[in-house]
Amino acid sequence: MATAPKVSKTDGKNNHDAADEQADKEQQEAIEQIDEVQNEIDKLNENASEEILKVEQKYNTLRQPYFQKRSDLIGKIPNFWVTAFVNHPQVSALLNEDDEEALQYLSKVEVQEFEDIKSGYRINFYFDQNPYFTNDMLTKEFHLNDTGDPSSQSTPIKWNEGKDLTKKTNNGNKGKKRSHDDQESFFSWFGDHGDAGADELGEVIKDDIWPNPLQYYLASEIDEETGGDGDDDLDDEGNFDEDEEGEEDGEEEAEVEGEEEDEEEEG
């Protein structure tokens, strides 16, 4: 029986090195090809972003007449906006009693996104004549600078003498946990431009409250009727959940039928 020829150690090492070199070459080629494919994906993503932005701009324009109609109707409801703010968990945490009193005079809120949408937005707060300040409108605006850095600016509040809510802090409680009434005023937000890119209140008003303020205005009424937190009974559009109403009706019908059966058996 013929035996396999012996391979010298040198030949074996050379074959192994050649195999490693080929594997490295194939791996490098694969990486280069992946990079090329990724570039194509990135181009599609850029195109998609541009198309999505065009759609957002189109529908933002189409929504404006409805926003105006909604504002006109909201104007018929006293204290609509302060109620919506108080019922919103994140905003209410920023309000003290003095803020709530001042916001009783808030008659209208509107969010205006810049025409290109991506460069920023402004929030306008309209006030009836009130004892706190003389402004009939307060505005805070968020935008991207030429360098791409976020910044903000706002209307200076013209406080009446002795009514500046941003200066009503309890200095005697320094070092102690502040109570709800001692916390910084909601109106201090207008003068806070330290970190415009992380302004949570502006984002909450723009992205959460403004699209559907009715759901927050109604939240307290729903709580009283259901004993719940209100949100469970509203769908994403701020309407009552018909499924839950149907379940409740079904339970009531079942109870009535059960009582009728019991009465028949007793008879």
User: Is residue 238 very low, low, confident or very high in pLDDT (cuts 50, 70, 90)?
Assistant: very low
Domain residues of the chain, as ranges?
28-64, 75-234
Report whether 212 contacts 231 (CB < 8 A). Answer: no
pLDDT for 259: 56
User: Is residue 138 very low, low, confident or very high in pLDDT (cuts 50, 70, 90)?
Assistant: very high
Query: Rounded to whole angstroms, how far apart are CA atoms 105 and 111?
Result: 18
Report pTM. 0.70
pLDDT for 46: 94
Residue 212 has pLDDT above 80, yes or no: yes
Give whichever of 5-14, 144-153, 231-240 has the largest mean pLDDT: 144-153
Q: Which residue has the tokens 């379940």?
A: 247
Question: What separation in angstroms does the CA of 152 have from each of 84, 100, 112, 139, 144?
Answer: 24, 24, 14, 10, 9
Cβ-count burial of 152 within 10 angstroms (0-12 exposed, 13-18 middle, 19+ buried)? buried
| pLDDT digits 0-9 by tens, 125-135 | 999 999 999 99
pLDDT for 240: 44
Report whether 194 contacts 172 (CB < 8 A). Answer: no
pLDDT for 253: 52
| pLDDT digits 0-9 by tens, 192-208 | 998 888 899 999 999 99
Mean pLDDT of 46-53: 92
Mean pLDDT of 5-15: 60
Which of 173 and 60 is assigned the larger pLDDT? Answer: 60
Three-state DSSP at 99 gives helix
CA dihedral 85, 89, 95, 99 (to 10 degrees): 20
Mean model confidence pLDDT for the chain: 82
Q: Where are the beta strands (DSSP E) in 136-198?
A: 137-144, 150-154
Residue 10 structure tokens: 């040198």
pLDDT for 203: 95
CATH fourth-level superfamily of 75-234? Nucleosome assembly protein (3.30.1120.90)
Q: State percent of the chain over pLDDT 90.
A: 60
Mean pLDDT of 214-232: 73
| pLDDT digits 0-9 by tens, 57-112 | 999 999 999 999 999 999 999 999 999 999 999 999 999 999 999 999 999 999 99
| pLDDT digits 0-9 by tens, 34-47 | 999 999 999 999 99
User: Is residue 179 very low, low, confident or very high in pLDDT (cuts 50, 70, 90)?
Assistant: very low
pLDDT for 18: 82
pLDDT for 15: 72
Other C-beta atoms within 10 Å of 164: how many? 14
